[in-house]
Structure 1
């Protein structure tokens, strides 16, 4: 059984939505909405344009919640509360068009480094609140692993899966490109059967380049075999443009 293949591009969040029609033309099954910039679901005009695209294509839909300037690990309570509120609102709005929403973890501030357990506890509590919204709305809220960027939480599988352990309504998005920057590709592939959602893109192992599949150092022949054998969800190519989307599509069809 071929896994569903979706496309997303966070580099397009300020673009007009016409580009999205090219996703279907490129042979993808769906669109993961990067719900930021011009695509925020809490913006009625933006949501109306998104709905029009959905109604005039056969694309399946998933959603990536906004993360600009948000931090569910913040020790600054107004920012912490607002970050939770915006993610909950995104999940609620997304329930009209999808049942899968990916969220980013928070990050550790300079003062947070002095109290790591407090940050961990706050982050877990934020996930409980967001997960409860997911349960109420019928949306699977999936926490994503992060690339190698200082102070982000959930850069490694042990912390990523530990963060969602015991939290009702929160699942895992595995980002294999992010995992490549932290040397965790094989670790994540070993646990891929526990993932609910997946992002795929390539890089050279040192930074989060979001290259087309095959343009970096990930072994897609091996990854494709292991993912196809154990994973049963959507694969989202997170790319920079539709030209590279076509390259990734061809690699995916060969390897998965």
Structure 2
């Protein structure tokens, strides 16, 4: 079933960290005739951290993944906007400010490189930054960074149309999966409540990748079949 997919987004986390042996990953990609892109790590990481040391370490981790992505031939790297404190309230706007600083640093780093960064909108969880189009816009303001439009995430926050209205041509990557509007379930496309036909109509000029995010390969294959029917 894995042969159904010609493009893979590698989640560079834990044992799948691509910079641990980028040349080996590059060989696997080349030998199997695959196209790939990269999702930067999201655990042990926060580019909006209150701590200068942790924030700088998170930037270094992200940059290491960008460099490895270029080495393996990936053209897109998806990055999360960061987190506000889960323990201390009232820090979200301060975290947004730090996230903006980090995004500008990343934007400067990739300038002139053959790779695009796509900053992803987040689901309805109070410690995630970038849940709303307004806040994600604040975070990427003043940069040339792209946006990864996660349809499932946007459905949990009621932000599907807001994300499309706000970012339009800035959307360079799409994550697609289904849910019932309350939490980030990563269901097979069509098993939840999302009106994907509406999204596809609104994204009519989009020419980037559709990344199916599923809990199993079987679910991904079924989602692919349903997505292809919707796009045809």
Q: Is TM (by shorter chain) over 0.5?
A: yes
**Pairing partner for 1:162 from 121, 138, 153:** 138
Output the CA distance in 2 between the equivalents of 1:57 and 1:185: 35
Asked if residue 201 in structure 1 is aligned to residue 177 in structure 2, the reply is: yes
Q: Summarize deviations over 1:124-168 as a string: whole Å, max 9, x none.
A: 111111122222432111110001111211001111122112124
The residue that corresponds to 1:16 in the other structure is: none
Asked if residue 40 in structure 1 is aligned to residue 20 in structure 2, the reply is: no
**Pairing partner for 1:65 from 36, 40, 45:** 40
Q: What displacement does 1:100 show?
A: 0.7
Output the CA distance in 1 between the equivalents of 2:123 and 2:163: 13
Output the CA distance in 1 between the equivalents of 2:160 and 2:86: 29
The residue that corresponds to 1:133 in the other structure is: 109
Q: What displacement does 1:118 show?
A: 3.0
Asked if residue 85 in structure 1 is aligned to residue 60 in structure 2, the reply is: yes
Structure 2 CA distance for partners of 1:130 and 1:221, relative to 1, 3 Å: same
Length, aligned pairs only = 229
Secondary structure at 2:111 match in 1 = helix
Q: What displacement does 1:99 show?
A: 1.6
| Larger RCO (CA under 8 A, 6+ residues apart) | 1
TM-score (norm 1): 0.83
Structure 2 CA distance for partners of 1:39 and 1:136, relative to 1, 3 Å: farther
Q: Summarize deviations over 1:203-247 as a string: whole Å, max 9, x none.
A: 1111111111111110122222322x1212111111111111111
Output the CA distance in 2 between the equivalents of 1:116 and 1:104: 15
Q: What displacement does 1:49 show?
A: 4.1
TM-score (norm 2): 0.91
Secondary structure at 1:142 match in 2 = strand
**Pairing partner for 1:246 from 218, 221, 224:** 221
Matches within 5 A, 1:163-182: 163-168=139-144, 170-182=145-157
Output the CA distance in 2 between the equivalents of 1:138 and 1:219: 34
| 1:39–1:50 contact (8 Å) kept in structure 2 | no
Q: What displacement does 1:89 show?
A: 1.0
Output the CA distance in 2 between the equivalents of 1:116 and 1:54: 39
Q: Summarize deviations over 1:34-79 as a string: whole Å, max 9, x none.
A: 01122212212xx344223212222211110011121111111111
Output the CA distance in 2 between the equivalents of 1:160 and 1:110: 19
Structure 2 segments unaligned to the other structure (5+ residues): none
Structure 2 CA distance for partners of 1:183 and 1:211, relative to 1, 3 Å: same
**Pairing partner for 2:118 from 142, 145, 164:** 142
| 2:100–2:138 contact (8 Å) kept in structure 1 | no
Output the CA distance in 2 between the equivalents of 1:186 and 1:243: 29
Output the CA distance in 2 between the equivalents of 1:192 and 1:244: 28
